[in-house]
């Protein structure tokens, strides 16, 4: 497999990894002063290059809303860097732990130390956010880091490499570009931790590659994240919030609402309300700078196939094109689509959509809706629309997902004090804020024996005193 990778790419990978391993052996992790400096400098570099990233991402996508880039790709990373810089010294403080009475007056504490060399494999849909957000946690913990960004957004990846080189020596943080073959070699390196964001199918391959070297992994995958509108919640209001979350980045978001569960007698009301919400958000599509294009011809064709497959299986296809425009194929813009009466066998109900296509599923009661969600692989996110506390508690108790937002979409992801991660097929492990610091740290247990202690009571030869002690301990 390694022979299929061009030698320069393979050699650069190995050289970067070797340099970081050597630096770790000679100097260890990043000292707190360097962490503070690096977190601040990287944030300043992103602000300085904000327009450059906006242009690069737009060029990679064909068209990408500049506001969406700054709001979702740049701002969360800058906020995460600031949050980590403000808090990492508190996170890294040793934490006292209670010791059982029979081992006192010994003391115990946990010491958070960097793991070593961390690998990050990031996807194309948010090419800055999903590469540099985990970097914030890895740096806060004091690690050295290698990043493999997506080859689908080459201009952004190249700019990221330049910006990282402005702030870091390659023995601290390095960006390594390349095609999927390079990513496969990257995943086989003996990192001390590997974080991958992408599809479930590729996540399985990454985990298998990491297993060869017993590398622990954090997998941020995806899945079909449902939105559930309870009977007490206004359908029109829910439709507006779902439209915002679904059509941000044209649906190319791992936590986008993938399908919506609506009370059976309100499905038509929802479709009409969703149509109105789309028209309000995007009165036109073709030349609208706010409406993002699909990243590649392959993904555009995949989405068209999902729509055609649903239609052929008997679903009703509701295209929403408020201006009645002909969309430019070069910009790869795809009009929002709602699917109703979609059979469960349709591909749109079997695989993550990752685009502006929204299946609507009717239900009769909340228990039925929960069973529908529970019969499928655990999603990365779940969105519940209800003002009823009992309904919310019931849904939370009866379903599983990586995260939850109630009465909105997407916003749970950008809370630095909330861990972000999946469960089961939607991922393992979490990061953001202190959760990210802990993911990239080793909580080292330290027990300190007191000068005067009772340890001598438990050593051989055993006799009556040990029998009395055991009788007391096991009683």
Q: What percent of the chain clears pLDDT 70, i.e. is strictly above it?
A: 99
Rounded Cα distance, 167 and 165, in Å: 5
- DSSP letter (8 states) at residue 170: T
Rounded Cα distance, 456 and 40, in Å: 52
Terminal alpha carbon distance of the chain: 59
Summarize pLDDT for 413-423 with one digit per residue, the tens. 999 999 999 99
Average pLDDT over residues 206-229: 96
- DSSP letter (8 states) at residue 468: H
The yes-or-no verdict on residue 101 having pLDDT over 80 is yes
The reported pLDDT for the residue numbered 4 is 53
The yes-or-no verdict on residue 458 having pLDDT over 70 is yes
Average pLDDT over residues 13-32: 96
Instruction: Tell me if the bond preceding 461 is cis, omega within 30° of 0.
Output: yes
Rounded Cα distance, 398 and 391, in Å: 10
Rounded Cα distance, 119 and 159, in Å: 19
Least confident window among 48-52, 221-225, 381-385, 429-433 = 221-225
Are 310 and 348 in contact, with CB atoms under 8 Å apart?
Answer: yes
Rounded Cα distance, 40 and 311, in Å: 52
Q: What percent of the chain clears pLDDT 90, i.e. is strictly above it?
A: 87
- From 102, 86, 144, 92, select the one nearest 120 (Cα to Cα): 144
- From 247, 295, 253, select the one nearest 60 (Cα to Cα): 295
Summarize pLDDT for 349-363 with one digit per residue, the tens. 999 999 999 999 999
The reported pLDDT for the residue numbered 473 is 85
Instruction: Tell me if the bond preceding 167 is cis, omega within 30° of 0.
Output: no
Average pLDDT over residues 443-461: 86
Are 421 and 399 in contact, with CB atoms under 8 Å apart?
Answer: no
Average pLDDT over residues 224-243: 98
- In 255-290, which positions are buried (b, 16+ CB within 10 angstroms) versus exposed (e)? bbbbbbbbbeebbeebbebbbbbbbebbeebeebee
Rounded Cα distance, 243 and 409, in Å: 9
- DSSP letter (8 states) at residue 74: I
- Torsions phi, psi of 108, nearest 5? -140, 150
Are 217 and 193 in contact, with CB atoms under 8 Å apart?
Answer: yes
Summarize pLDDT for 389-403 with one digit per residue, the tens. 999 999 999 999 999
Rounded Cα distance, 364 and 382, in Å: 19
Average pLDDT over residues 293-300: 95
Rounded Cα distance, 33 and 38, in Å: 9
Name the packing angle between helices 129-140 and 75-91 (round to 10°): 10
Are 61 and 334 in contact, with CB atoms under 8 Å apart?
Answer: no
Least confident window among 70-74, 106-110, 310-314 = 106-110
The yes-or-no verdict on residue 165 having pLDDT over 90 is yes
Q: For the chain, give the mean pLDDT.
A: 95
Helix (H, G, I), strand (E, B) or coil at 195: strand
The reported pLDDT for the residue numbered 466 is 86
Q: Which helix (H) or strand (E) holds 404?
A: strand 403-406
pTM of the predicted model as reported, rounded to 2 decimal places: 0.94
The reported pLDDT for the residue numbered 430 is 96
CA dihedral 157, 163, 167, 173 (to 10 degrees): 10
Neighbours of 198 (CB within 10 A): 22
The yes-or-no verdict on residue 110 having pLDDT over 50 is yes
Active site residues: 220, 254
The reported pLDDT for the residue numbered 2 is 47
Give 280's contacts (C-beta < 8 A, 6+ positions apart). Answer: 240
Average pLDDT over residues 404-428: 96
Taking CA atoms, 302 is separated from 83, 114, 146, 354, in Å, by 39, 42, 32, 10
* Confidence at 7, pLDDT banded by 50, 70, 90: low
The yes-or-no verdict on residue 333 having pLDDT over 80 is yes
- DSSP letter (8 states) at residue 108: E
- Torsions phi, psi of 220, nearest 5? -110, 100
Average pLDDT over residues 432-455: 92
The yes-or-no verdict on residue 297 having pLDDT over 80 is yes
The reported pLDDT for the residue numbered 6 is 52
Residues in a beta bridge with 441: 114
The yes-or-no verdict on residue 1 having pLDDT over 50 is no
Beta strands per DSSP E along 171-286:
173-175, 193-197, 217-220, 226-229, 259-263
- From 171, 147, 136, 156, select the one nearest 21 (Cα to Cα): 171
The reported pLDDT for the residue numbered 456 is 77
The reported pLDDT for the residue numbered 457 is 74
């Amino acid at each position: 497999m390694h022979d299929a990778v061009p030698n320069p790419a393979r050699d650069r990978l190995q050289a970067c990894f070797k340099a970081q391993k050597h630096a770790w052996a000679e100097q260890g992790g990043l000292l707190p002063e360097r962490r503070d400096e690096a977190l601040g400098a990287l944030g300043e570099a992103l602000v300085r290059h904000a327009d450059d990233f906006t242009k690069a991402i737009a060029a990679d996508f064909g068209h990408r809303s500049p506001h969406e880039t700054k709001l979702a790709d740049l701002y969360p990373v800058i906020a995460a860097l600031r949050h980590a810089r403000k808090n990492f010294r508190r996170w890294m403080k040793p934490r006292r732990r209670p010791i059982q009475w029979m081992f006192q007056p010994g003391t115990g504490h946990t010491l958070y130390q960097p793991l070593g060399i961390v690998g990050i494999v990031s996807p194309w849909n948010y090419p800055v956010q999903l590469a540099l957000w985990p970097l914030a946690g890895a740096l806060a913990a004091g690690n050295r880091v290698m990043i493999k960004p997506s080859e689908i957004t080459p201009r952004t990846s190249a700019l990221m490499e330049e910006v990282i080189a402005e702030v870091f020596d390659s023995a601290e943080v390095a960006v390594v570009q390349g095609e999927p073959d390079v990513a496969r070699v990257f995943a086989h390196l003996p990192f001390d931790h590997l974080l991958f964001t992408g599809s479930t199918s590729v996540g399985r391959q990454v985990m298998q590659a990491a297993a060869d070297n017993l590398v622990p992994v954090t997998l941020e995958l995806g899945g079909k994240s449902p939105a559930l509108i309870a009977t007490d919640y206004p359908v029109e209001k829910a439709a507006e919030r779902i439209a915002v979350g679904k059509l941000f980045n044209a649906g190319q978001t791992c936590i986008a609402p993938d399908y919506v569960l609506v009370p059976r007698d309100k499905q038509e009301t929802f479709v009409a309300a969703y149509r109105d919400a789309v028209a309000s958000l995007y009165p036109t599509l073709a030349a609208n700078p706010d409406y993002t294009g699909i990243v590649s011809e392959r993904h555009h064709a995949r989405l068209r196939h999902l729509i055609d497959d649903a239609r052929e299986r008997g679903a009703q296809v509701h295209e929403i094109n408020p201006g009645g425009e002909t969309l430019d194929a070069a910009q790869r813009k795809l009009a929002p689509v709602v699917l109703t009466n979609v059979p469960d066998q349709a591909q749109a109900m079997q695989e993550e959509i990752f685009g502006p296509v929204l299946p609507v599923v009717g239900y009769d009661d909340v228990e039925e809706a929960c069973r529908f969600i529970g019969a499928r692989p655990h999603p990365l996110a779940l969105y519940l629309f209800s003002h009823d506390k009992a309904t919310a508690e019931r849904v939370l108790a009866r379903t599983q997902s990586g995260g939850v937002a109630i009465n909105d979409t997407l916003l749970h992801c950008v809370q630095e004090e909330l861990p972000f991660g999946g469960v089961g097929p939607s991922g393992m492990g979490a990061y953001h804020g202190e959760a990210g610091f802990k993911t990239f740290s080793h909580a080292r247990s330290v027990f300190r024996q007191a000068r005067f202690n009772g340890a001598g009571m438990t050593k051989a030869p055993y006799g009556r005193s040990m029998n009395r002690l055991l009788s007391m301990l096991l009683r």
